[in-house]
């Protein structure tokens, strides 16, 4: 993209600011942005990257569930990951979310939930429209672990996989019991919830800070997060944090008591344990009742801050069936309250070409302030959106942003349209290479089909060299442009044939810097398969998905041979990712690229043991019941999943094996009735002949 115009520049600006804000917030406890402003900028970046997937880089704030924990506290892994939630900003987006959910569950979204003739009539098909609505408290997420009823650990959310151990601070929160209020608790209970400050307490703290000459906190959420990460727990105790619990992870297979079957049951069980839950939560039948709940609290005066409603599928069995996308649970969504809208003039519209060839119109605006930030660009998405809005150059547009959304044009004020304004349409030829643009039937995106389009080549090379991919230090945007334009680099494999002498012919590349870059390029040949897989730029394969795929398929050849069904059944993936991966490997030019890379030793060849691990249990479904002799349930589950298997919570005719330990429950009886093979722990481990007996991490 030439100059500073278009989406590429906007993405760079957003990333730089969001990363600076994240470090200030999470590491230095000195926020530089209002939380709502950060949310809106984040959503702007998220939507830009959705419109221009070729601009996604591994160091983008959107490529991680959360942010890096600070170093002052010990980093600890979460036993169960903390996922973020997808956002909806109006009731129409909520309905679209439900339609996607119903399709994932194999139920037509067109069925009338109140008409027994319009669905199968089973209990599960009725449950799919039962939701629990909870106010979205503006605080800081916590993960609590109770061992035999006693609080063992309290941790921050961190990046969703690891957090900071702040147990001493958590113990000061009086609404978090140090011991569960039951005589016979489960051996392990995981609780998730929100630490928050009441508005009154927030104002008291800020008044004290002003009196002491300290800067006030920006909002209650920042104050809560900063409080939790104080090294002196006496400060935490003095600030009187509160806590609402909202998620309970009951130990699977625990034989005493009836495990919760719904989210509503979980909230009641949390209260029975002595934990505080939000009393305003409501069990809703269908989206009509969800909408009523949403509207009820839109402008309510509450003693704490909220920014929306969290909507969760009530049935835990259906939650498990719905599963997760790469980042979000499919069975829950945050329904945010809308933000302000402002008018501004469209000065120009730029067509941006990205790594995949997608051409996206971006409106350049007269700068306008929204919630304390200046907005000067807004995506117009595609040709359909242009036509729907009837956009003319010089129009006055109504722009909004909310939460984690890119500034978007909501409507055009046609009454203010200049007399000589002309409608804008996407160019017919690529602005980068002049190739005629195409739009495939059924797609909203207009693309440049030229595989050697300079914009696409630049994007692919930048992605390959990025930090979470091959991490080639020194291979920046300007140098990449010269490699394409002056040295004729076409594929990432071409990088490994460059010489220092060639690089010295480029601007600002002397002998020393050229040699240093060659060393960095050659060093990248040792990067592991998961980084190479991410660097290939396969649609829908981000950093987390690449790691998951690499753990199941230890080489490009194994992944290339996998069927979409095999990939889709891996926990955390799904049909969309599976089809994208299979389609990518089916392209002849991609196979040629892989052959060229493998000839260079990229990625390094896996060990035979690793190759065996990648496929030995692929496609098989397991259920674990009872207590195993040496492995915990988590270890056994990890051992199975690392070898391609899937562990489910319930026994069905699709189950391949039931792993049985001592004190097995009803699942053993169900397996016997269905004639499903039973395995001991030793027999399970024997399914992988290369693994050391009893070693779940081999």
d(CA 523, CA 471): 9
- Please tell me whether 621 is known to bind a ligand: no
Say which CATH architecture domain 614-685 belongs to: 3-Layer(aba) Sandwich (3.40)
Which pair of tokens denotes residue 383? Answer: 């040709």
Longest CA span, the chain: 82
- Please tell me whether 37 is known to bind a ligand: yes
7, 8, 18, 350, 364 from 4: Cα distances, Å: 9, 8, 19, 11, 11
Looking at domain 454-526, its CATH superfamily turns out to be 5' to 3' exonuclease, C-terminal subdomain (1.10.150.20)
d(CA 687, CA 355): 43
Contact 636, 625 (CB under 8 A): no
d(CA 286, CA 114): 9
Write down the residue that tokens 């990046």 correspond to. Answer: 159
- Please tell me whether 133 is known to bind a ligand: no
How many CA within 13 A on the CB side of residue 379? 25
Contact 400, 90 (CB under 8 A): no
d(CA 637, CA 631): 9
Q: What is the DSSP string of 175-234?
A: TS-SB-S-SS--SEEEEEEEEE--HHHHHHHHHHHHHTTPPPPSSHHHHHHHHHT-S-HH
Q: Which parts of the chain have pLDDT scores under 50?
A: 1-5, 26-29, 64-71, 111-127, 402-404, 609-612, 692-698
Contact 553, 533 (CB under 8 A): no
- Please tell me whether 453 is known to bind a ligand: yes
Short-list 148, 646, 687, 40, CA closest to 403: 40
CATH number for the 529-606 domain, one of 2.60.40.420, 3.30.43.10, 1.10.150.20, 3.30.460.10?
Answer: 1.10.150.20
- Please tell me whether 678 is known to bind a ligand: no
- Please tell me whether 692 is known to bind a ligand: no
pLDDT for residue 263: 96
d(CA 689, CA 682): 11
Q: Which tens digits make up the pLDDT trace of 456-509?
A: 999 999 999 998 899 999 998 899 999 999 999 999 999 999 999 999 999 889
Sheet holding 130-137, edge to edge: 86-88, 332-336, 306-313, 130-137, 282-285
- Please tell me whether 266 is known to bind a ligand: no
Where are the chain's structural domains?
Answer: 6-63+339-416, 86-91+129-336, 454-526, 529-606, 614-685
- Please tell me whether 265 is known to bind a ligand: no
d(CA 60, CA 62): 5
- Please tell me whether 513 is known to bind a ligand: no
Contact 370, 436 (CB under 8 A): no
Write down the residue that tokens 């499903």 correspond to. Answer: 676
CB atoms under 10 Å from CB of 521, counted, come to 20
- Please tell me whether 336 is known to bind a ligand: yes
Task: Strands of 265-391 (E only): list them.
Answer: 282-285, 306-313, 332-336, 341-353, 358-370, 373-379
d(CA 32, CA 541): 32
Contact 501, 577 (CB under 8 A): no
CATH number for the domain formed by residue range(s) 86-91+129-336: 3.30.470.30
Backbone angles phi, psi at 310, to 5 degrees: -95, 125
Backbone angles phi, psi at 256, to 5 degrees: -105, 130
d(CA 425, CA 423): 7
Angle between the N-to-C axes of helices 608-615 and 543-552, in degrees from 0 to 180, rounded to the nearest 10: 100
State yes or no: is 136 an active-site residue: yes
- Please tell me whether 439 is known to bind a ligand: no
Q: Judge if 454-526 and 529-606 fold alike in CATH terms.
A: yes
- Please tell me whether 36 is known to bind a ligand: yes
pLDDT for residue 660: 92
Contacts of 248 (CB under 8 A, 6+ apart): 189, 190, 191, 192, 260, 266, 267, 269, 270
d(CA 137, CA 141): 10
Which pair of tokens denotes residue 160? Answer: 């969703």
d(CA 537, CA 520): 20
Expressed in percent and rounded to 5, the helix, strand and coil fractions of the chain are 40, 20, 40
Provide the 8-state DSSP code for 80.
S
The active-site residue out of 20, 136, 478, 523 is: 136
- Please tell me whether 330 is known to bind a ligand: no
Write down the residue that tokens 């071409």 correspond to. Answer: 494
CATH number for the domain formed by residue range(s) 6-63+339-416: 2.40.50.140
Contact 166, 229 (CB under 8 A): yes
CB atoms under 10 Å from CB of 270, counted, come to 23
pLDDT for residue 370: 66
- Please tell me whether 39 is known to bind a ligand: yes
pLDDT for residue 609: 46
666, 676, 677, 678 from 672: Cα distances, Å: 10, 6, 8, 8
CB atoms under 10 Å from CB of 358, counted, come to 21
């Amino acid at each position: 993209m030439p100059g500073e115009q278009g989406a590429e520049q906007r993405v760079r600006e957003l990333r730089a600011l969001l990363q600076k804000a994240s470090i200030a917030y999470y590491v230095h406890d000195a926020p530089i942005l209002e939380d709502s402003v950060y949310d809106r900028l984040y959503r702007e970046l998220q939507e830009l990257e959705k419109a221009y997937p070729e601009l996604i880089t591994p160091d983008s704030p959107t490529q991680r569930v959360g942010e890096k924990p600070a170093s002052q506290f010990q980093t600890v892994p979460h036993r169960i990951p903390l996922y973020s939630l997808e956002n909806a900003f109006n009731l129409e987006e909520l309905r679209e979310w439900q339609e996607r959910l119903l399709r994932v569950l194999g139920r037509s979204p067109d069925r009338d939930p109140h008409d027994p003739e319009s669905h199968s009539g089973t209990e599960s098909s009725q449950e799919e429209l039962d939701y629990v609505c909870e106010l979205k408290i503006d605080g800081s997420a916590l993960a609590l672990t109770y061992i035999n009823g006693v609080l063992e650990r309290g941790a921050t959310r961190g990046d969703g996989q690891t957090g900071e151990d702040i147990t001493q601070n958590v113990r000061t929160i009086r609404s978090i019991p140090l011991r569960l209020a039951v005589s016979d608790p489960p051996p392990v209970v995981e609780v998730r919830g929100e630490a928050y400050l009441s508005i009154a307490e927030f104002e008291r703290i800020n008044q004290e800070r002003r009196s002491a000459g300290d800067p006030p906190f920006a909002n209650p959420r920042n104050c809560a997060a900063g409080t939790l990460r104080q090294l002196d727990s006496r400060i935490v105790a003095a600030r009187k944090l509160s806590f609402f619990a909202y998620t309970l992870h009951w130990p699977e297979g625990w034989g005493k008591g009836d495990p919760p079957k719904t989210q509503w049951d979980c909230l009641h069980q949390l209260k029975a344990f002595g934990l505080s839950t939000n009393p305003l939560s409501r069990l809703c039948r269908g989206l009509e009742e969800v909408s009523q709940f949403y509207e009820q609290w839109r402008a309510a005066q509450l003693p704490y801050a909220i920014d929306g409603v969290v909507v969760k599928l009530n049935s835990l069995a259906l939650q498990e069936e719905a599963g997760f996308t790469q980042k979000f649970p499919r069975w829950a969504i945050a329904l945010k309250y809308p933000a302000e809208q402002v008018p501004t003039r469209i000065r120009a519209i730029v067509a941006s070409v990205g790594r995949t060839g997608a051409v996206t119109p971006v409106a350049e605006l007269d700068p306008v302030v929204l919630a304390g930030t200046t907005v000067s660009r807004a995506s117009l998405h595609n040709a359909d959106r242009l036509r729907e809005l009837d956009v003319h150059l010089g129009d006055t547009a109504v722009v909004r942003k909310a939460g984690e959304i890119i500034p978007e044009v909501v409507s055009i004020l046609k009454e203010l349209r200049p007399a000589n304004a002309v409608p804008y349409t996407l160019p017919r030829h690529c602005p980068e290479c002049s190739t005629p643009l195409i739009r495939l039937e059924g797609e909203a995106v207009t693309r440049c089909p030229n595989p050697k389009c300079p914009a696409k080549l630049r994007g692919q090379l930048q992605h390959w060299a990025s930090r979470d991919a091959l991490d080639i230090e020194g291979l920046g945007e300007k140098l990449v442009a010269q490699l394409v334009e002056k040295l004729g680099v076409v594929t990432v494999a071409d990088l490994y044939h460059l010489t220092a002498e060639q690089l010295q012919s480029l601007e600002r590349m002397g002998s020393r810097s050229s040699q240093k870059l060659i060393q960095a390029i050659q060093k990248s040949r040792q990067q592991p398969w998961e980084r190479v897989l991410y660097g290939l730029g396969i649609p829908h394969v981000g950093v987390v998905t690449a790691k998951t795929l690499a753990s199941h398929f230890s080489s490009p050849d194994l992944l290339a041979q996998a069927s979409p069904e095999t990939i889709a059944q891996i926990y955390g993936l799904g049909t969309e990712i599976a089809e994208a991966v299979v389609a990518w490997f089916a392209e002849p030019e991609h196979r040629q690229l892989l052959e060229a890379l493998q000839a260079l030793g990229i990625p390094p060849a896996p060990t035979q043991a690793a190759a065996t691990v990648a496929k030995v249990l692929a496609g098989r479904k397991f259920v674990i019941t009872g207590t195993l002799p040496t492995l915990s349930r988590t270890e056994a589950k990890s051992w199975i999943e690392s070898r391609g298997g899937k562990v489910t919570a319930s026994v069905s005719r699709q189950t391949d094996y039931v792993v049985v330990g001592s004190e097995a429950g009803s699942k053993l009886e169900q397996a016997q009735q269905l004639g499903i093979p039973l395995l001991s722990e030793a027999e399970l481990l024997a399914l992988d002949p290369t693994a050391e007996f009893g070693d779940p991490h081999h």
